[in-house]
Structures are given as C-alpha cells and as structure tokens.
Amino acid sequence: MLQKFLKDAISSVVGKPADEVVDLLDGKKYTNEFLIAKKLDLTINQTRNILYKVSDFGLVSFIRKKDKRKGWYTYFWKIEIIKCLEFLKSTIQKKIEQIKFQIKSRETKEFYTCEPCNIEFTEESALVHNFVCNECGSIVTRKDNSPVIKEYTKELDKLNKELAIVDEDLNSEKEKTEKTKVRFLKKEEAKKKAERAKAKKPSIKSKKKEPAKKVKETKTSVKKKVKKVVKKK
C-alpha cells in the first residue's frame, strides 16, 4: 500500500512516469541518475526534468558528486517517504473539503437540467434565462439531487478510509525515522565517550617514564641530605 501511496503522490505532480520513477528510487539510499535514465529509457535531461519537478515539492532529494577525472557532477536521488505521505494526506484532505462543499451545495440549493443537451444550470442561471436552455431553447427541468449526493457520499467515505490508511503509514514511517535517529545519537554518544576515555587514559610511554622520574627525584634528595650532613661537620 505504501508503494501505491508514493506513486499517487508523485503522479499528481508529474503524471504517469511516476510509476516507474517510484519503483527505481529508494527511501534509504541514493540512486545514480544515469541508472534511472537507463531504466526509464529516457535521456539524462528528460530524467532530470522529471526529478527536478518532483524535487520542487520536496518529494525527492539529491546529492551530487564531482567526477575528478571528467570534471562534471553526477546527481544521486532518493525518495522522501514522509514528505510524499504528508503531501498525499494534504491532497486527500483538500478533496474531502471540496466534496463536503458539493454535498452541502446539493442539499441546500436547487439545480435544473436541459435533458436534450445534458447541461446543468444553477437556480440563478436558470432564472436569468427564464428556465429556457440557451443552447437549444428547451424548457429546463428541476433536477433531483439525491443520486448526486449519494455518489458524493460514497466518494467521501472512500477518501476518508484512504486518509486513515495514509495517516497510519505516515505515523509508522515517522516512528521508524525517530528510532533510526535515536540509534544514531546513541552510537555517536558511545563514540564520543570512548574518545574521552582514551584521552584520559595515560599512554604506555608516559607509564614507563614515570618510575625513571621518581628515581631521579630520589637521587637528588639523597645528595641534598649528604650536603647538609657535611656542612654540619
């Protein structure tokens, strides 16, 4: 289901090519753009145009690496799963609001139709034209909104269910990201702790030098004591 949602999000930006783009991009590692172009059977410029358009919405990200020998940059791309799901969630929510508006409009307003032309008129428009179709001159008739409301309600239920699943996947991906972040921070903290412990621990050389220093100090103190005894005599 996640793969379908990712395709839905990206296809709303670039259309049908999204299906193959999503299949080629990973959410964890970056993919070479030349490999993507080869798989899509497109030129590198065509591929970049698609990916740049998707990138404008934050649905994919990239890094670039310079070829030291040739001097040009190669781009590596990755799909941003959380951003895609958030984008799709926002899109679904907008559709839900539009359908709710349509249902309310059908419940509170009158609509008319010209059956020969299959044209719908609002009450205001029908009134302006004296309830006559301005295309064929036929008398317009009042429309039963019940079937339309029923279809809108079915679509609304479908979107609400889809939104719930998207929300579930979004929360799951956020949890995964948070766990990965915590593991990384723990690893970094352990690394720093080990480095601090290593810095505090004396080296082998300093341990060897320490006894020699003490011996030297002992010899010096003996000489001083001998000198004091000589002076007293």
Mean pLDDT per 10-residue section of the chain, whose length is 233 residues: 89 82 88 92 91 94 88 91 95 96 94 94 93 93 94 97 96 90 86 83 57 54 53 51
What are 112's strand-pairing partners?
121, 142
The answer as to whether 18 is a domain residue is: yes
Same domain (yes/no): 9, 72: yes
- CB distance 123 to 112 below 8 Å: yes
Query: By residue range, what is the domain housing residue 61?
Result: 2-79
List, as own/partner pairs, every contact residues 16-23 make where C-beta atoms lie below 8 angstroms and the sequence separation is at least 24, other chains included.
17/50, 18/54, 21/50, 21/51, 21/54, 22/79
CA distance 134 to 112: 13
Tell me which residue of 79, 83, 77, 84 sits closest to 36, measured CA to CA: 77
- Could you tell me if residue 186 is inside a domain? no
Give which of 144, 153, 151 is closest to 111, Cα–Cα: 144
- The whole-number pLDDT of residue 213 equals 53
Q: What is the pLDDT of residue 27?
A: 82
Q: Which pTM value belongs to this model?
A: 0.75
Residues 159 and 89 grouped into a single domain: yes
Torsion on CA atoms 176, 10, 156, 125, rounded to nearest 10: 150
In this structure, the answer to whether residues 171 and 94 fall within a common structural domain is: yes
Residues 172 and 91 in one domain: yes
Q: Mention every residue, 6+ apart, whose C-beta is less than 8 A from residue 126.
A: 112, 140
What integer pLDDT is reported at residue 150 of this predicted model?
A: 96
Q: Can you give the CATH number for the domain in which 54 is found?
A: 1.10.10.10
Residue 20 domain flag: yes
Write out the two tokens for 145: 């909104």
How many domains in the chain? 2
pLDDT at position 209, please? 53
- Is residue 109, in this structure, part of any structural domain at all? yes
Beta strands in 135-191 (DSSP E): 141-142
